[in-house]
């Protein structure tokens, strides 16, 4: 793993998503975006997906969307 640093326009982000009201919340949000993109890249490299993988991906996406930790 590696650690990176990014710059985020906090005011603009908070205007769009008021729940992103702390650095920790923004950090978690950004990490989830990166994790989902890595998963997408992995899936793009395969022709088919098992039903178990699809179910796990759906459950993870639902959790990420509706169980946002601030």
Structure confidence at residue 14 (pLDDT): 92
pLDDT digits (tens, 9 = 90+) for 3-23: 999 999 999 999 999 999 999
Has residue 1 been placed in a domain?
no
**pLDDT in the model for residue 62:** 86
Residue ranges of the chain with per-residue pLDDT less than 70: 46-47, 68-70
- With respect to residue 14, please indicate whether it lies within any of the assigned structural domains: no
Provide the pLDDT for residue 23: 92
Task: Please state the domain count of the chain.
Answer: 1
57, two tokens: 């991906």
Within-domain flag for 2: no
Q: Name the pTM for this structure.
A: 0.60
Q: Distance between CA atoms of 67 and 29, rounded to whole angstroms?
A: 12
Is 39 inside any structural domain? yes
Task: Provide the residue range defining the domain that includes 38.
Answer: 19-66
Whether residue 43 lies inside any domain: the answer is: yes
């Amino acid at each position: 793993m590696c650690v990176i640093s990014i710059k985020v326009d906090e005011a603009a982000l908070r205007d769009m998503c008021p729940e992103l009201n702390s650095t920790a919340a923004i950090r978690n949000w950004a990490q989830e975006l990166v994790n989902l993109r890595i998963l997408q890249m992995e899936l793009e490299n395969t022709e088919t997906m098992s039903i178990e993988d699809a179910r796990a991906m759906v459950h993870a996406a639902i959790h990420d969307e509706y169980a946002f930790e601030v």
